Amino acid sequence: MIDFNNYLWPERRGHLVGIGGVSMSSLAEVLKGMGLNISGSDMNESKNVQSLRALGIPVAIGHAAENVTDDVEFVVRTAAVHDDNPEIMAARSMGIPVFERTQAWGAISKDYQNALCIAGTHGKTTTTSMCTHILMAADRDPTVMIGGTLPLLNAGHRVGHGNTIIMEACEYYNSFLSFHPTVAVILNIEADHLDFFKDLEDVEHSFRAFAERTPINGTVVANADDENTMNTLRGIARKVVTFGLEKKADVTARNIEFKGANSHFDVIYKGRKFTDVTLHVPGMHNVKNALAATAAAICLGISPTAVKYGLAGFNGAGRRFEFKGKYNGADVYDDYAHHPGELKVLLDTVEQLGYTRTILVFQPHTYSRTAALFDDFVEQLRRPDLTVLAEIYAAREKNTIGISSAALAEKVEGSLFCPSFAELDTTLRALARPGDIILTVGAGDVYKVGEKLVN
CA neighbours within 13 Å on the CB side: how many for 153? 28
Q: Given the residues 78, 102, 121, 125, select the one marked as catalytic.
A: 125
- CA–CA distance, 134 with 311 (Å, rounded to integer): 6
As a whole number of angstroms, the distance between CA 390 and CA 428 comes to: 12
Check if 168 is active-site.
yes
Per the CB < 8 A criterion, the answer to whether 266 and 255 are in contact is yes
Cβ burial 339-369 (10 Å sphere, 16+ → b, else e): bbbbbbbbbebbeeeebebbbbbbbbbbbbb
Q: Which of 168, 171, 190, 342 is catalytic?
A: 168
Instruction: Note if 124 is an active site residue.
Output: yes
Query: Cβ–Cβ contacts within 10 Å for residue 44, how many?
Result: 9
How far is the first Cα of the chain from the last one, in angstroms, to the nearest whole number? 51
Sequence-distant (≥ 6) Cβ neighbours of residue 316 within 8 angstroms: 126, 129, 151, 280, 281, 322
Report how far apart, in Å, the C-alpha atoms of 433 and of each of 1, 316, 359, 362, 385 are. 60, 26, 11, 19, 13
Phi, psi (deg, nearest 5) at residue 69: -85, 170
Q: Which of 87, 121, 124, 440 is catalytic?
A: 124
By annotation, the residues acting in catalysis are: 124-125, 168
